[in-house]
Chain A
């Protein structure tokens, strides 16, 4: 089982590239825990002091919406890390995590983790790189998302034609992509509704009675007054053109 966990750790954004010895020490310092379906792994608002690597099973990350109903933000499965920000700070958990199937997870306490950092300073640099690379990635995505949102808000939907499509988030990085994908799905729906609405707009059919048009024109232009006016207007325009 430890070998399987080791393999999973190697694939996480946080520990990708870390020496095997370090990862083994990480597992030894952590605790393997089992959470039956329905168990709460962490609760929104509580102080966080550990991270979890999900070995088996899956969890839902939930928060309460404005009405107090449960709102599922995301689901995570084997090989995914949750609560990693607790390694750096002791800020309150930003969401509640509940097991939706029996979960086997490696829990790593902040204290144990920091102890490990003292022993293996090289891990510190790897972690900084991992966090900063994700931050850079997020910033780029946010910047892009701002640009796209602005153009869509202005009624320009052309970005939808070549927008990203990410169906399932497999890695942490994918989650930013997934958010964008959802955003694009939403924008496409909005556009479809707008198009439908436009179809429903009244199309006026311009109707002109050509016989009446001709008759009225002839009534006006048939008078001596008009003949005189037209001759003078022609002379006037010729004069203006020459000026």
Chain B
């Protein structure tokens, strides 16, 4: 059975979309069958990194979950279609699908009122995973702990929490960790992003984080101006595999793949 992996951060600006897209790419490169739920098609996010033009999007994951269309109508095969850039070209022939979705706060409340519950969402996603024989389904959640995010966490096998090395993120992460434990998430991984290179004692940082949150820290990734720029609109870890950020990212991907 495939695993649902939610990628979350308490506040925005942690580099969550880039992390999610690159983790998915690394898992696909490791010959895993990977799906990515893009929950935010309105703003330029994950789909841009995979070379999907929002104007070309038709059916969304919601249509599939409501039984209005087949998964084939929603799934965008990155391995087949997106060989248009130096990074994405490396994914040619790999099993990686993007699922545009429009699950947003208001809609999900509506869905819940209509009786669309955790089980139905879970069964919908599980059916989709079965159909494409997915090993991993990555969900790029919204920042904060709104109802949609809580729903994602509730159905996750693995939760990745991204934080920056500052006290505001630590505070928010503490609450998220408490929630994840309350919702019995079996696997919790932490990842620090945007650490100013050479500024911190990484060993000390890792120890403090793991002691505080009682969860493994899968990587400390440096602040990466090239990535923040994202002029290439491509998958950074594939374009610049030798970069420290890419090395850290691969470490996180390996930690995810190592979880049973």
Contacts and interface: CB of A to CB of B under 8 A. Distances in A.
Interface of A: 198, 201-209, 212-213, 216-217, 220-221, 225-226, 228-230, 232-237, 240, 243
B154 A233 contact: yes
B186 A237 contact: yes
A217 B178 contact: yes
Majority secondary structure, B binding face: helix
Q: Which 4 interchain pairs have the tightest Cβ spacing?
A: A232-B118, A233-B154, A201-B201, A216-B175
B239 interface: no
A236 to B, nearest CB: 6
Contacts of B147: 225
Interface in B144-175: 145, 147, 150-151, 154-155, 157, 165, 167, 170-171, 174-175
A232 to B, nearest CB: 4
A216 B173 CA distance: 12
B198 interface: yes
Interface stretch (B50-58, B83-91, B202-210): B202-210
Contacts of A234: 184
Contacts of A235: 119
B170 A206 contact: yes
Contacts of B200: 201-204
B94 to A, nearest CB: 27
Contact of B1 (A201, A220, A237, A243): A243
B42 interface: no
Interface residues of B, number: 34
A121 to B, nearest CB: 60
Given A208-B212, A229-B151, A229-B183, A198 B170 contact: no
Contacts of B199: 201-202
Contacts of A221: 179, 182
Interface string B173-191: 0110011001110100000
Contacts of B118: 229, 232-233, 236
A198 B150 contact: no
A232 B178 contact: no
A229 B150 contact: yes
A204 B165 contact: yes
Nearest to B155: A236
B117 interface: yes
A153 to B, nearest CB: 17
A10 to B, nearest CB: 57
A128 B200 CA distance: 58
Given A225-B147, A240-B1, A233 B184 contact: yes
Contacts of A233: 118, 154-155, 183-184
A220 B150 CA distance: 9
Contacts of A220: 145, 150, 175, 179
25 contacts: A201-B200, A201-B201, A203-B201, A204-B165, A204-B205, A204-B208, A209-B171, A213-B174, A213-B175, A213-B178, A216-B175, A217-B175, A217-B179, A225-B112, A225-B147, A226-B150, A229-B150, A229-B151, A230-B154, A230-B183, A233-B154, A234-B184, A236-B122, A236-B154, A237-B186
Given A201-B199, A206-B212, A212 B122 contact: no
A201 B206 CA distance: 14
Contacts of A204: 165, 200, 204-205, 208
A217 B182 CA distance: 10
A147 to B, nearest CB: 25
Nearest to B112: A225
Contact of A208 (B122, B157, B165, B171): B171
Contacts of B119: 232, 235-236
